[in-house]
Chain A
Amino acid sequence: MTSYALFLGCTIPARQPHYELAARKALTKLGIELIDLEGMTCCAPPPLQSIDLETSLAIAAYNICLAEEADLNIVTLCTGCFESLAIANRLLKEKPQLREKVNKILANAGKEFKGAKEVRHYLQVLMNDVGLNSLKQNVVKPLDKLKVAAFSGCHLLRPSELLRFDDPERPRIFDTLIEALGAKSIPYKNKLRCCGGLLRGYADDIALAIARDKIVNAHNAGADCISTLCPFCFLTLDLGQMQIKTTYKEEYNMPIIHYAELLSLSLGVEPKELALDFHKVKLDKVLEKIG
């Protein structure tokens, strides 16, 4: 039984419990033990990095220290958390001067970063700890009628030199995992482009325009749904469609569904167990296709 310290971050527990629910159910079914550690804080994503990079590094390092103390590797659901923690982990492991600087700060909180543990995204856990074969074997409801526009978001892939998750120009991992569920990951225009989510709250008009582009491209490619990994992407594209309706007077009815939810459904979890009411764009068509 492989155990991980589950890092939830802020947005998922506070706004998107459906993501957490689906992920816990799926990963537990697949034999991964998720341990909730006390003391974890925000991961220090871009909004905090914009205020101060050094503080953000220290906060990320603090969270990694908690896992080091529990002798556990970290798994994240949110790709923003993945980026923040994984980059901090790599920078501090590889740059002794930076590590020294951050450890001086951490000493105030009684912590020391040792570089002993890894930060992973749950897709990596699926690929490496569970394995594709085991995953496929556990699929009881193959999603073979579903055409999915895979959208991993930015922070799983870039900056690739620090994250080293997948090929940033030709990523395959997410598509492979979608297809392992029986679904089809379809090509669509500007698949790797940002959703604009981080501009919400500052420049809503631009954010909405970028989100709309994404929805339109998936729509034009004939997707049944867009599958996400990041809560910001989900919010921007799901709630965003309500705003697109108001602002642009266009309705696309494109369901946005976290991969963890697709995974859970394919593993046999009943829709009613999955908090699907948190979706603004209803999933009826998707559920129909899944059967």
Chain B
Amino acid sequence: MVEEKPLDFTKEITSRLGGETITHCYQCGTCASTCPVARTAEDRYNPRQIIRLALLGQREEVLKGDAIWLCASCYSCQERCPQKVEVTDVIYALRNMAIREGNIPAIYMEFAAGLLSEGRIVSISKFLEKKRADYGLPPLKPAGIEALKKILSATGFDKIMFKKEGTPK
């Protein structure tokens, strides 16, 4: 079952922004109990279990799996965790790692593409622009696309996004 030395995966996570607190977890299950997604889709998502798999070094199951994409970012777990594990941020860190290895759900590709081309993750149609004008809303000021591109280039965002696209299991 154990594919990799557990500490290596754990160290990787704790050294990433967002993942620093994962080792505080003592598996109390408060996060799972309060999670709206877990309560609705018990068999597909359980944040406590994700953390447990991560701490046991189950890199492949965690990063290639479907579970980490099911967090709705509501932060209820992080709010109530008695060990102050930043559960939601840990999931972000895991997602960051998964994407770097090419496991990117399609919808995130769309968001990234929107950001890179228009500086916004949701694009504004001509229809909408006209509607805005009709209602007397001021035209939208242009987004700082040039500055944004420089930032994205500095962090390597564009390189992260355009590795091979894989759909999670």
Contact = CB atoms under 8 A, between A and B. Distances in A.
Interface of A: 8, 10-11, 13-15, 17, 20-21, 24, 36-42, 45-55, 57-59, 62, 66, 105-106, 108-111, 154-155, 158-160, 168, 192-194, 196-199, 201-203, 206-207, 209-210, 213, 275
Nearest to A101: B17
Contacts of A155: 73, 75
Interface in B23-61: 36-37, 40-41, 44-45
15 contacts: A21-B137, A36-B138, A41-B144, A47-B107, A47-B111, A50-B92, A53-B89, A193-B76, A196-B40, A196-B72, A197-B72, A198-B72, A203-B41, A210-B36, A275-B131
A159 B18 CA distance: 13
Nearest to B157: A55
B42 to A, nearest CB: 11
Given A40-B144, A196-B36, 11 more contacts: A17-B137, A20-B137, A53-B16, A53-B92, A55-B157, A58-B155, A108-B154, A109-B144, A196-B72, A198-B72, A275-B131
Contact of A10 (B93, B121, B147, B161): B121
Interface residues of B, number: 63
Contacts of B132: 13, 17
Contacts, number: 187
B140 to A, nearest CB: 6
B14 interface: no
Contacts of B76: 154, 158, 192-194
A17 B128 contact: yes
A209 B41 CA distance: 9
A63 B6 CA distance: 39
Interface in B129-149: 131-132, 135-138, 140-145, 147-148
Contacts of B144: 38-41, 62, 66, 109
A138 B47 CA distance: 46
Contact of B141 (A38, A47, A53): A38
A158 B95 contact: no
A29 to B, nearest CB: 14
Contacts of A24: 137
B124 A52 contact: no
